[in-house]
Each structure stands twice: as structure tokens, then as C-alpha cells.
């Protein structure tokens, strides 16, 4: 048996061979072969040693504590990022064939130092041989920066640090309108967009941590934030607007695929965006074209079929992406609705197969796209959005299914998505469990999936280290509240829908099976989560912020439980509940509205805050 410390590494290495003995680190740890050490990998190790009260020094004669040496690592393409760690009784040797392997090996060694550090004496690491390389070439995360919440640069840097520590190698920022395109100021004015200079800075920061920042720009549907402006409205499929799930009002949603002016706009955007990145990949979206064939392309769709019109536009976009030296990634949902067209996709494109439920048919979709011979990426989700506090079981099962079928069908990799539908109300820590679970599985798909308790323990060790051991358990308990209700709702938690559908007559179709017993169970689950948080140490600004974000989530979820109980007692319109019922509900919600902006600004830019707050205010106005 090997030390429990090895089991707590994230990701868990592929092979750990325990050996007799313990290596006790000296007071000064020396590193030989330093020219092979990537700067950030070396710094990560130095930081871990400093926390364990060991100094970091260059060798000055004798045997160095740690030696880096070049050696080809088996594992096919994965070997390029692979490494071998030999932990002996007197020294440690790190072998790798390329810079990425040294970086990941140093990252693992830094984790081992942190996991084996003690307050009583020097760090003591069990002797072992670790042989490790990734299971997928692409291990990516996508962060939605277009549904109200745009992280500050400090927050983006923190996210990148976390992801690189879990051996992610790709990041995308989902973009509709939140990049500061020159000459298109009316689209992003008031949103605090990411500027070209900031994107270049983030690209450099990612590259230093062996993360490829991949450009992302919606290019067909989901362009409503552009098309609502008169200057662009005439480019729309339906200039008069359509109802869609991402706005309170009717809006034009997709480009007219038969209008060459739309392609000219895309070319202009690409020429501003792409120079900020060193990646040769480019995600152009192309998903959820709800209104295609309902407006200006109606005649073309009637004559040629929706699938043909869509594929023609996809080809035109791909030509423009290829002309700029990039490989096109796109969401595959529309093509999967027309499986006979998969074989007609342009050579070299990378379909992204997305699905966010535990039962999503990844098996069928992966087999279909794999048969085309194209590279493809499988995209589960963190299950954070439309939940307020998370959907734990769904996330774990969704990620496990995506990884299993990606591996069985030789997918290029995994891209875990994190969305912000309906106001991006969930604070950042709600996404941590999904990022940790998906990153660990993407690196080592052979390892068993985490249980909730295992995930909580690893969050404590690798995210919430400044608090004590209950912080991870508290957030995991919070993420389990949605499923304690006993009602499954796709792409959301029932408690979140009680909030975002409050303006509609109750019960809505999704909530017809909601019960009082389920809501009471939710209230009990919230008390359990709060009791776990009360045991944490809340010292320092990050721990205090985590506690504030947690309290906001629990109180908002408690409000939705009481709102649900009131509406079960009197179905119909919210306004008809009467003041005796609505006034206490309003007293619960009002302080949460007041705290929203302060918590928002702690991690996110101000732009988008007011739009997010509307989802709460329009409920408060009815109470």
C-alpha cells in the first residue's frame, strides 16, 4: 500500500509503485538541472517548500536534493506531457522529455510537499516511483463571460492557477459580445469587456502555465447582443426578433446565413480577436440557431432543407477560419440533429459534442462522429448554472459519462463548460467541484470517479487550504441541496426555477411534481451545509469572502424553498398570494438584493451586475 498522500494528488497519477523508506527533506532543498525547469513550475515548487518551512537553493556541492534529467517518456502523444518521479531515500529525480512534462512533474512534486508537510518538523515523503502521462491530448475548461458575469483579471489569473495545478492545458472564454472590438463600441459599452491588451496578457499568463488560451467568438446564433442594435439588425435572420431563452424580450438572435454582410462582419471580428492568441485553434460556436429558416432564409430552407443551409454557412465560416491559419472548432448540436450530414463536414474541423445531463447520449454521439474520422472533443458541464449552489450528483455522473465515452471512442479530449444562464447568479466557488472532478478525470480517465466525500477532501487540500477541513464539505453539501428536493429538472435545479420562473403562473410545467416534503428536505439540507460551514476557520480575505458567498447562496436557496411552499399552498400568480404571505418573503429577499453588488464586485467586473440583479429585483417587485 502507498501513502494516503499519493491518493490525494489531483489528478491521481497513472502508476504509483511504493518503495521502502521515507525521504526527509533537508532544511535547504537544492535543485540540479535547473535549465530544464519551466519558470512557473520551479516557482510552484519553491512556494510549496516555503509553506513547509524549507528553503530553496542552488546546489553547492554534494548530491542535489532534486535532479531534473531528460528522458523520453512512453505514452504516445501523451508522453510529451508525461514525467517520471523517482523518490528515493536520499534524493529525488524527475525525468521528462519535454518542458510540459517537467512542469507537470514539478507540479506533482509541489503537491506532494504540501500534502506531507507537518507543523512538527521537516516534510517527509514516502519513497516511490511515479509514472504519469495524460489520457487525453486536450483537457480544457470553458468559462462563460457573456451572460452578465465577466471576471476581473485577478479572478482570471486565480482560475488559471487552479486549472494548471490540476493539469488542464486549455482554456476558452465563451464570447458573444464581451471583447472590446474597435469600431463596435455600442455593442460592448457598459459591459466592462476584456480588452485586446488584457487578452494578450492573459494569453501570456496561460502559456507560462502550459495552458493554451483558445479564441472563442459566437458566429451564427447567440448574436442577439449585436443584432439588437440598429446598425446590425438588418444582418439578422429575424430582424423583428424572436422569443429565446436568454432574454426577457423578443430579440433578433442569429445571423441571416444568406447575407454576405454577416460574413464580412465576422471577418472583421476575427482579424481583431485572433492576433491576441498564440493558439492555432478557434471555437466559432454555431450552436442553437433557434430561428434559422423562420425569417429571411425561409425560402432557402424550404427549397434546400435546413441542414443544407446550415452546412453551407458552416463551410463559409470554416474557409475564413482556415484562411487565418486556424483550425475551426464548433458546437455539434445542429449537425447531430442531421446525422447524415456528419460525413459532409469539412476536413479538419473539430466538432464539440456538448451535453450537461447525467443521461446525455454521449455513447451514440461519440460513435457517430468517431466514424467520420474527424477529431472531436466531448463537453460535459460543471452543473453550476441555474442552480445557485450546484447540482452535485448530476455533475459527477455527467463528467464520468463524458470521459468514459470520449475514451472509448478515441476523442481528442474533454472541455468542461461553465455557463451563466439566467443572470449568472452562482458565485465562482460553485464551479470548483466540477473543475476539479473533470480535470482529474481528463488526465487519468482510468481512475475511479470521486465520491462526494472524496471531492470535499480534495477541495479542502487544493482549493480551501487557508480554511480548515470543513470548507470543502460545506460547499459539497450545498451542491447537494438541489437533489435533496427529489425532483429532477433538466439543466437547472427546481429551486432556481422557483426564482427565475416566479413571474409565471404556478406550477409551471417543470414544477408540477414539486412537493412540500421535498422543499422541507431542502431546508434541512441547507441547515446541514450551514452547520459544516460554521466549523471552518474564516481568517483572511479569501476565507471571509468564501463564507460570505456561501451565506448568500444558502439564504437565497432558503428563500426559494419558502417561496415554493407558499406557492404550493396557493397556485396561480405570485401577486395573488396576498400581503400576509408576500411581505415576509420580501423581507428575506431584500437583503440578498442589497448584498448582490458587493459580492459581485469581489470577483467580477461591474458591467453585467445590474442585468444579473434584474432576476432578483423582478421577483422582489412582485412581493
Q: What's the pLDDT score for residue 76? A: 74
pTM metric for this prediction: 0.97
Express each pLDDT in 14-32 by its tens digit: 999 999 999 999 999 999 9
Express each pLDDT in 368-379 by its tens digit: 999 999 999 999
Q: Kindly state the average pLDDT of the residues 302-307.
A: 98
Grade residue 468 by pLDDT with cuts at 50, 70 and 90.
Answer: low
CATH superfamily of 138-450: Glycosidases (3.20.20.80)
Q: Kindly state the average pLDDT of the residues 562-579.
A: 97
Q: Kindly state the average pLDDT of the residues 584-601.
A: 98
CB count in 10 Å sphere of residue 162: 18
Q: What are phi and psi of 85, to 5 degrees?
A: -110, 120
HEC per residue, 215-270: CECCCCCCCHHHHCCHHHHCCECCCCCECCCCCCCCECCCECCCCHHHHHHHHHHH
Rounded distance, CA 166 to CA 249, Å?
Answer: 41
Rounded distance, CA 176 to CA 183, Å?
Answer: 16
Q: What's the pLDDT score for residue 1? A: 34
- Residue with cell string 479569501: 542
Rounded distance, CA 217 to CA 177, Å?
Answer: 8
Grade residue 4 by pLDDT with cuts at 50, 70 and 90.
Answer: low
3-state SS, residue 486? coil
Residue whose C-alpha is closest to residue 11's, from 440, 498, 601, 555: 440
3-state SS, residue 163? helix
Q: What percent of the chain has pLDDT over 90?
A: 93
Mean pLDDT over each residue of the chain, to the nearest integer:
96
| 299 Cβ contact list (under 8 Å, min separation 6) | none
DSSP-assigned beta bridge partners for residue 86:
93, 129
CB count in 10 Å sphere of residue 366: 22
What does the DSSP assignment read for 24-85? EPPSEEEEE-GGGS-HHHHHHHHHHHHHTT-EEE---SS--SEEEEE----SGGGGGG-EEE
Q: What percent of the chain has pLDDT over 70?
A: 99
- Whether the CA torsion 113, 118, 123, 126 is positive or negative: it is negative
Residue whose C-alpha is closest to residue 164's, from 15, 40, 7: 40
Grade residue 466 by pLDDT with cuts at 50, 70 and 90.
Answer: low
- Please, is 598 exposed, middle or buried when counting C-beta atoms within 10 Å of its C-beta (0-12, 13-18, 19+)? exposed
Express each pLDDT in 506-536 by its tens digit: 999 999 999 999 999 999 999 999 999 988 8
- Residue with cell string 460513435: 367
DSSP-assigned beta bridge partners for residue 28:
55
Q: Kindly state the average pLDDT of the residues 190-202.
A: 98
Express each pLDDT in 154-180 by its tens digit: 999 999 999 999 999 999 999 999 999
Q: What's the pLDDT score for residue 31? A: 94
What is the DSSP code (8-state) at residue 144? Answer: E
In the chain, the N- to C-terminal Cα span, in Å, equals 60
CATH superfamily of 4-132: Chitobiase/beta-hexosaminidase domain 2-like (3.30.379.10)
8 Å CB contact between 99 and 35:
no
pLDDT at 119 over 90: no
Grade residue 431 by pLDDT with cuts at 50, 70 and 90.
Answer: very high
Amino acid at each position: 500500500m502507498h501513502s494516503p498522500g499519493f491518493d490525494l494528488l489531483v489528478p491521481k497519477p497513472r502508476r504509483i509503485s511504493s518503495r521502502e523508506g521515507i525521504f526527509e527533506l533537508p532544511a535547504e532543498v537544492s535543485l540540479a538541472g535547473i535549465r530544464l525547469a519551466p519558470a512557473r513550475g520551479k516557482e510552484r515548487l519553491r512556494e510549496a517548500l516555503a509553506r513547509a518551512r524549507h528553503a530553496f537553493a542552488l546546489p553547492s556541492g554534494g548530491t542535489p536534493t532534486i535532479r531534473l534529467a531528460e528522458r523520453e517518456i512512453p505514452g504516445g502523444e501523451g508522453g510529451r506531457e508525461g514525467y517520471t518521479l523517482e523518490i528515493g531515500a536520499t534524493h529525488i529525480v524527475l525525468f521528462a522529455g519535454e518542458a510540459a512534462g517537467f512542469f507537470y512533474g514539478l507540479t506533482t512534486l509541489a503537491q506532494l510537499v504540501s500534502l506531507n508537510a507537518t507543523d512538527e518538523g521537516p516534510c517527509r515523503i514516502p519513497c516511490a516511483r511515479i509514472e504519469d502521462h495524460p489520457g487525453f491530448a486536450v483537457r480544457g475548461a470553458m468559462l462563460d463571460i457573456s451572460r452578465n458575469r465577466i471576471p476581473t483579471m485577478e479572478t482570471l489569473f486565480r482560475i488559471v492557477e487552479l486549472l494548471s495545478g490540476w493539469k488542464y492545458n486549455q482554456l476558452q472564454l465563451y464570447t458573444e459580445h464581451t471583447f472590446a472590438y474597435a469600431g463596435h463600441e455600442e455593442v460592448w459599452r457598459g459591459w466592462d469587456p476584456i480588452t485586446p491588451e488584457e487578452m494578450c496578457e492573459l494569453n501570456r499568463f496561460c502559456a507560462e502555465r502550459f495552458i493554451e488560451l483558445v479564441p472563442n467568438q459566437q458566429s451564427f446564433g447567440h448574436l442577439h447582443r449585436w443584432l439588437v442594435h440598429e446598425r446590425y439588425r438588418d444582418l439578422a435572420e429575424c430582424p423583428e426578433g424572436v422569443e429565446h431563452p436568454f432574454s426577457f424580450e423578443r430579440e433578433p438572435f442569429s445571423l441571416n446565413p444568406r447575407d454576405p454582410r454577416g460574413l464580412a462582419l465576422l471577418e472583421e471580428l476575427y482579424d481583431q480577436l485572433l492576433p491576441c492568441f498564440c493558439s492555432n485553434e478557434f471555437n466559432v460556436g454555431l450552436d442553437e440557431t433557434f430561428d434559422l429558416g423562420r425569417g429571411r432564409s425561409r425560402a432557402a430552407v424550404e427549397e434546400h432543407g435546413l441542414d443544407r443551409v446550415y452546412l453551407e454557412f458552416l463551410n463559409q465560416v470554416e474557409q475564413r477560419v482556415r484562411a487565418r491559419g486556424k483550425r475551426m472548432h464548433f458546437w455539434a448540436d445542429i449537425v447531430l440533429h442531421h446525422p447524415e450530414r456528419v460525413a459532409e463536414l469539412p476536413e479538419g474541423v473539430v466538432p464539440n459534442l456538448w451535453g450537461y445531463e447525467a443521461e446525455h447520449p454521449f455513447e451514440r454521439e461519440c460513435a457517430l462522429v468517431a466514424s467520420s474520422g474527424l477529431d472531436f472533443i466531448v463537453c460535459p458541464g460543471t452543473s453550476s448554472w441555474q442552480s445557485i449552489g450546484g447540482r452535485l450528483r448530476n455533475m459527477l455522473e455527467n463528467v464520468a459519462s463524458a470521459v468514459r465515452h470520449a475514451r472509448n471512442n478515441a476523442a481528442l479530449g474533454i472541455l468542461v463548460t461553465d455557463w451563466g444562464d439566467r443572470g449568472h447568479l452562482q458565485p465562482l466557488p460553485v464551479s470548483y467541484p466540477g473543475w476539479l472532478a473533470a480535470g482529474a478525470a481528463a488526465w487519468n480517465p482510468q481512475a475511479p470517479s470521486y465520491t462526494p466525500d472524496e471531492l470535499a477532501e480534495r477541495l479542502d487540500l487544493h482549493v480551501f487550504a487557508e480554511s480548515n477541513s470543513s470548507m470543502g464539505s460545506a460547499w459539497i453539501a450545498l451542491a447537494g441541496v438541489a437533489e435533496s428536493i427529489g425532483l429532477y429538472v433538466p439543466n437547472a435545479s427546481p429551486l432556481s426555477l422557483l426564482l427565475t420562473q416566479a413571474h409565471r403562473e404556478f406550477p409551471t410545467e417543470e414544477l408540477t411534481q414539486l412537493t412540500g416534503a421535498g422543499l422541507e428536505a431542502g431546508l434541512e439540507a441547507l441547515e446541514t451545509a450551514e452547520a459544516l460551514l460554521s466549523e471552518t476557520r474564516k481568517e483572511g480575505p479569501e476565507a471571509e469572502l468564501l463564507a460570505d458567498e456561501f451565506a448568500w447562496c444558502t439564504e437565497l436557496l432558503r428563500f426559494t424553498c419558502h417561496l415554493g411552499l407558499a406557492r404550493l399552498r396557493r397556485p396561480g400568480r405570485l401577486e395573488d398570494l396576498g400581503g400576509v404571505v408576500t411581505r415576509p418573503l420580501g423581507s428575506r429577499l431584500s437583503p440578498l438584493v442589497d448584498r448582490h453588488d458587493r459580492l459581485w464586485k469581489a470577483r467580477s467586473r461591474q458591467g453585467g451586475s445590474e442585468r444579473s440583479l434584474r432576476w432578483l429585483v423582478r421577483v422582489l417587485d412582485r412581493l
